Chains A and B, each alone.
Chain A
Amino acid sequence: MTISLKPNNTPPEKLQPTGWLKYLSFSLDHKVIGLQYLVCGFLFYLIGGSLAGAIRIELASPLSDFMPREVYNQVLTLHGTIMIFLWIVPVVNGAFGNYLIPFYVGARDMAFPRLNAVAFWLIPPSGLMLITSYFINGAAQSGWTAYPPLSITTPAAGQIIWILSVLLLGGSSIFGGINFIATILKLRRPGLKLMQLPMYCWAMLGTSILVVLSTPVLAGTLILLSFDIVAHTGFFNPSLGGNVIVYQHLFWFYSHPAVYIMVLPAFGLVSEILPIHSRKPLFGYTTMVFSIMGIVVLGLVVWAHHMFTSGTPPWMRLFFTIATAFIAVPTGIKFFNWVATLWGGKISLNGAMLFSCGFIINFVLGGITGVALAQVPFDVHVHDTYFVVAHFHYIVYGGSVFVIFSSIYHWFPKFTGKMLNENLGRFHFIITFIGFNLCFAPQHWLGLNGMPRRVAEYDPQFQLINQISSIGALLMALSTLPFLWNVFQSILYGEDAGENPWDALTPEWLTSSPPPVENWEGEAPLVLEPYGYGRRDSNKPQEQKQ
């Protein structure tokens, strides 16, 4: 296969809208698409966050007194679906992946720019469709898991729109995954070996494999479920001879890997951020690569740990316990390597660094409760309780969302050419970190003591702890304000960033900020040692001598 390093056949720039209008267009530029993903995802994050706020208001008192019970179930379904499918998955994969991967492999764009644009433009309509279903006839109210028979017996319109929307989002995700695999494997600049790629490429390769293997299973499952709803077939409907447990197996075959689809790219991003802000090479590159692939393989064979109470044979419970617990080994390797990366560095305590370190601390706690939950005898008590709610918010919020903020602080200068205010960044981090832990740490206790998840009303003895949790949620909501202020302020009046404000070695910093269409004015630079910090001679990026 020949790889063209010359500008390819994308339409000339003048045919495409310029200025801010290009962000509303069917742009084929991977950087524009990346930012489209990011901003669109953030808008959905604000919506999903407001829904979380509504849940925490309802739970501030033990009675169901803030909104009707049906609406509460719609709110929690929309909250989960929006946060997963419209915020974290598109942003850690689509936004940063599209922006960074072509730079990292030394390409001028993604392998399939049009497919890339299609993948993005599937997201806003399906998101809007999902939200408007609330105003039409009520949104889906069976949780983001949509377990039948509940999803078959609740009002059909909302559930069908939910299925359609998740199918489109899954399609978008598959398109993205194919594109990333092709770009990483086939568009690499000649002379660049796989083991010389920045770690985020490996994370995206692993994630994309998971996306391509498991998302079609979810799509098939949801199509069968929609048949059960509209055509009254009996795939999952027990009154027609269907089996509800089969749905759970198929659903979790996607939805457990989905957790890795949300956190593996975050692991990759952290691996880029820590070396730059601690001025040290990434510790243990090779083991980091193998641990990503280990997580990918193990991640595909652990799904039934979500079903320990649903009636599975004992041997199956045992197998899934061991497989799940073993994911802690490759994951642990990554965390020890990150701490070793910090060790002996010259660490800048800026927004990017603090959010990444906040991620390490939160995720370690989420990982520990995860290993505990993998143990069948432990899980039968806390399954489907607030303990699980706390656990997975430590993974997806304390993990992925902290990394998203860290990445925004890190790459904002590249995106916009302006620096963010670091003092506001530190303030944002402190409020978010306190608010997050205040909101979710007490929920471990709630779960252990008898509060199930997805309830609008609860035993009054849990009121105080729930109120503390709600105050934490309020802090989290308020913490968005300094961030938004910082972003708008910096875009308008921020200090000029220049090409490489962090003095970084990875290729996206070796071009102007923001970079031109096709990424580099001249030839793409060949970066063989993206983490060569601490070495005088390699502190200057090697220029290509081809």
Chain B
Amino acid sequence: MSAILSNVSGKVTSLFAFTENPHLNGGQKLASKYFTVAMVLFLAQLLFGLLAAIQFIWPDFLFGWLDFSVNRMIHTNAMVVWLLYGFLGSVYWFLEEESGSEIVGLKLGVIGFYVLTIAVTLVVLVYLLIQTGPGKDASIWFINEGREYIEAPRWADIGIVVVILVFFYNVAATFAKGRWSGVSGVLTLDLIALAGLYTAGMFYLTNITADQYWWWWVIHLWVEATWEVLVGCIMAWSLMHLLGARRKIVQTWLYIEVALMFGSGILGLGHHYFWIGTPDYWFSIGGFFSALEPIPLVAMVVHSVYDAGVHKFKATNHPAMAWIIAHTFGNFIGAGVWGFMQTLPQINLYTHGTQWSASHGHIAFFGAYATINIAFFYMAVQKWRGNVWMSGDLPGNGWKWKWSIGLLNFGVLGMTVALLIAGYEQAFIERAMQGSTWDAYFAAQSHPWFREAMVWRTVFGLVTIGGLGLLIWDLMTIGKDESRPALALTHED
């Protein structure tokens, strides 16, 4: 038995042998493992999204085998998990440089990575092969919790919390041993909130109003508060690294972002409490504060574009810099503008629970989070290749990264607009005109405007997948035969 186990674990670790690279420090080797799994899950997210999109057009496709519910769950779960893998990896990547110390519990961190990855694999296999269970606690513990985005069964929740605690220990203890900075202080406090909030989604309640009240603590306070601050930290570090931006300026911006983000985002939670049975004072609180949520995102655009301009776009890594700019615009447009469009209760009464939300979800998650992870993947590949040249004048004029950033952004934007059209149609026909009954629902779902939108969404989904294919190819080949060293920056302090 132990011989088999060591054989299997040997095979698994040999999959990640390429991360044992002399150019990388301990944290960066671990980060490369996280990034690799993140890319695999990114691909899975898009493929299962495609299956679900096809089912909107041909409902009989895979019916009874791999139903829409399964595909959609894997689509969204793969996304949440790959983004988290990207964040964990990014923090491990810069932890040693930012703290000036070796990671305190690197071995523990590596074990945590393998435990998490095995857990994710098991959860996905159960989703695919077992799918659903009887209406008992055992199903919630071992098969599927059945709550959107956090469907992972309870055993996996506990595993995730343990691994995140190991990660948190590594971050806090390494900074404590080395040195603290503004970036690391914000990051560490943010991680406490991020890990703590997850436990708000780890208990069962029959009262569905209270259930959804706490469920939104996880979903909203992650993606509209703590994740935003986390990517703020990652962006702050990236701008110093890519452009040589001054630490003082970057950190001042980070504090401004934290003040605006938490000042609007924490009570902005109220925009999810309009229709779930909660008191109607949430109309005013949720409407007001969530309407302010785009402001920090504007600040981030100004911040990144200004910094890039001041440094005359002399960046050590052009693809990464382009993705950082895509991140700030995507975050503002996707999370800010698309969110604001339906955040006031007067419009949300008609758009809540329609394709309007799906439209917002696509552009916001891509714009705010996928983009900054991709930027970091490029920074990682550059170092992994031996800190080679990755600014202008790349072989073939860097066509692969340029086409992939173009196709990915164009594809997601196309899906977003198609889903928005479907959402408008649904809000008017199903909600406003026909009063939201099941007949009204199906009338809207079978309207030509809706059907055409679903076809266009699938077409743009294929464009997005094409962009991802090119991105994977580029990440595997960029800098391969490069002999020039990376652009040297003149740091201002």
Q: Do A and B come from one complex?
A: no
